[in-house]
A and B are shown apart, each in its own frame.
Chain A
Amino acid sequence: MKKYWHVLNVGIQNNLTYRFNFLARAVFGLIPLIAMLYVWQKIYSGKGAGSTVGAYSLGGMISYYLLTTVVDALTAVNEDDWQIAADIKDGNISQFLLKPIDYLWYRLCLFLSGRVTYLAVAVIPLTLFILYLRQYFMLPPNWTVFGAFLLSTALTALLQFFTSYAMAMLAFWVLEVSTFIFILFAFEYLASGHLFPLDILPRGLEQALYFTPFPYQLYFPVSIYMGKTTGADMIRGLLIQGLWVIAAYAVARFAWRRGIKKYSAVGG
């Protein structure tokens, strides 16, 4: 356990050298978000005062986007999948086959350290932005909900990481994995609630999405926080989310095992 703690530490220190990059990313990332909020504002003002879209008032809609930004900052993979793929392609994983350290846990530590560092930097622009819009930023209804939100966010982070890890395993078989990663990312972007809250979709479509892991990659924790998913639905959702995490983990492990058999340590 101690060695992974060490990896986490080194990871944080490494990532800190990129603090300026992280800050730039956090600030640049706010620009499309602001643009999106302007578009919604225009839509609401065109519909007249007190109008709603689905179940959302203008304030609710702005809250939604602020929350997705927070959850995204907490859980999104940064460059982990590229790095893992590069490690495989360049033969850097050879050393992990010899050392008493597990590559998957090693990468998970680096992912967590990346999130911690990113958050430490992004917290400044994000907080300022949320304070500016504080009249729209709602607090969770109670502590239980907040606890469930945190749990679900943690599961989201794990799901994001294991999915990316499994995707990066493709590097054992193909030269360039980025196309595959972007194809999956496009679906995730649309179906996980990045662009719009999923419950403004027609009912059938929204239901169908719940058969995929995508809503659990962003939308689900936000819906808990906003009090849209409660009680038995929430518990069931958390369980399903947990199952998706386990499934993604299993695929990641399986792909690694198959990959290693084929691996010939080019340039290692």
Chain B
Amino acid sequence: MRSEIRNPKAEDPDATTHHTPRTLPRLSRLTHHASRYLSVYAALWKNSVAREMSFKSNFLLWILVEVLWFGLQLSFISVLYLHTEHIGTWTKWQVVLLIGGSHFIQQVFQAFFLVNCTNLSELIRTGKLDFLLLLPVNTRFLVSLRQVDLGAFVNASFAVAVMAYAARQLHLVPTLVQLLGFLALCVLGIAIHYSLMFLLASISFWTVRAQGIVWGYYNLFNIARMPDEAFRGLFKAVFTFALPMLLVSNVPVRLLADKLNSPAPLVLLVVMSVVCFSVSEWGWRASMRRYTSASS
């Protein structure tokens, strides 16, 4: 099986930063803090836009690649449903909704985090991390959000279009609460993907080979788009409680499609996202303590 190696975009250097004045009352310091991070992030965005626009045809081609792979998933489902009416209780258009939802989550994750997670091992190998450590901004913030993948937003919008079409086929008219709930749960799902992948990327502090492991995680996206009812036993337990792939897109889509029978999966998704994020923060700190620059 060949790994799906995507979009290893070029490293980019610096981001602009501002300096904090030394003494400020607490509240205004907090808002100042927030506005400072916002302006840093705005600068990172500007960099990313400039970079993407300098390779326009490539930018479009990557969008085409993602569209094709998305189409491939959808054709797979239509072939399956040539031979069956349902998988568990999931009907055809519900699964299309699930694949759309899963693609949406994956693309938004990709837009903000994917390149940055895979680049971490590069930052360590080349010693560029030193430079980021010296900046007066939280290092995890910088490492996680340095580049934005704009094409992924385009692909996320295609996912939304497919979901809207599937919802029409299902005669679903989601309420505002359902829509907002869906979005909130998507954020949790993205947080889980990000936390796990960042944790894997932190392994780079121990071995230079970590990039392979990070790409291995990409395989797990395949599980996130499958209907949860297909799975049983140990497999289900592992991918619910250890690597909660079966929660990240199934739970939000169930909420949208009126398929939630109890609030338990909701609670579980919230709990697991908090657990994953805490573990990844702990892993990051433990890794940072090990860091002994590669340069000089």
User: Which residues of chain A have a CB within 8 Å of any CB of chain B?
Assistant: 20-21, 24-26, 28-29, 31-32, 34-35, 38-39, 41-43, 46-47, 53-54, 69, 72-73, 76-78, 82, 175-176, 178-180, 182-183, 185-187, 189-190, 195-196, 200-202
Evaluate contact between B72 and A179: CB separation under 8 angstroms.
no
* 26 pairs of residues in contact across A and B, judged by CB atoms under 8 Å: A21-B212, A24-B212, A24-B213, A25-B216, A26-B1, A28-B219, A31-B219, A31-B220, A35-B222, A35-B230, A38-B230, A42-B229, A46-B87, A46-B88, A54-B83, A78-B2, A176-B58, A178-B6, A179-B64, A182-B65, A182-B69, A186-B65, A186-B68, A190-B72, A195-B76, A200-B83
- Select from chain A the residue with minimum beta-carbon distance to B80: A43
On chain A, the residues within 8 Å of B213 by CB distance are 24
Most chain-B Cβ atoms within 10 A of its Cβ — which of A54, A77, A82, A196? Answer: A196
User: Which chain B positions have C-beta within 8 A of A196?
Assistant: 76, 79-80
Q: Does B29 contact A (CB under 8 A)?
A: no
Q: Which residue of B lies closest to A194 (CB)?
A: B1
Chain B residue at minimum C-beta to C-beta distance from A17: B209
Give the distance in Å from the alpha carbon of A72 to the alpha carbon of B1 in the complex. Answer: 6
CB distance from A81 to the nearest CB of B (A): 10
Chain B positions within 8 Å of A29 at CB level:
1, 219
**Chain A contacts for B79, CB-based, 8 A:** 195-196, 200-201
In the complex, whether B3 has a CB less than 8 A from a CB of chain A is: yes
For A20, give its contact among B6, B209, B223, B226 (CB under 8 Å): B209
Complex-state Cα separation, A46 to B95, whole angstroms: 16
Q: Which residue of A lies closest to B85 (CB)?
A: A46
When the two chains form their complex, are residues B76 and A190 in contact, meaning their CB atoms are under 8 A apart?
yes
Q: Is the CB of A183 within 8 A of B88?
A: no
Contacts of B82 in A (CB 8 A): 200, 202
Q: A38-B232, A195-B76 are in contact. List 5 more A-B contacts (CB 8 A).
A: A25-B1, A42-B230, A72-B1, A182-B68, A183-B68
Determine how close the nearest CB of chain A comes to the CB of B202; give it in whole angstroms.
16
B residues 14-64 in Cβ contact with A at 8 Å? 55, 58, 61-62, 64
CB-CB < 8 A to A201: which residues of B? 79
Taking the complex as formed, is B86 at the interface, i.e. its CB lies under 8 A from any CB of chain A?
yes
Residues of B within 8 A of A186 (CB): 65, 68-69, 72
